[in-house]
Amino acid sequence: MQAEESKQTSEKVFEDRNLTLDAQIVRLMKSKKQMKLQDLINEVIDAVKKLFHPEVKAIKTQVDSLIEREVSVGMRVVRQLDPHVTFSAVH
């Protein structure tokens, strides 16, 4: 019984953290309009560090998920000549 409750709690925490990352990514993209991926990651980490310490992989996963879902911020990937990836908010 306790193991099941622990599993459910872990799943809920994971889901809540993903939603927090989604919300922060969308907020940043709406306010900044265009950011390089590394800058976005750094700002997301800085914004949520008082709540939890996200892994970079988790942030990248949520960015990919938002792009796939074509969230209202309309994030699109703009690949430039340099190796960096830039995200733009599309209106």
Q: What is the pLDDT along the chain (91 residues), one digit of tens a residue?
A: 788 888 899 999 999 999 999 999 888 888 887 788 888 999 999 999 999 999 999 999 998 888 777 665 555 555 444 445 566 655 4
Domain boundaries, the chain: 2-89
Q: What is the pLDDT of residue 1?
A: 72
> Listing from the earlier edge strand, what are the strands of the sheet with 34-36?
34-36, 85-89, 75-79
Contact between residue 31 and residue 43 where contact means Cβ atoms under 8 Å apart = no
CA dihedral of 67, 68, 69, 74, whole degrees rounded to 10: 30
Q: Does the structural domain 2-89 have CATH classification 3.40.50.10890?
A: no
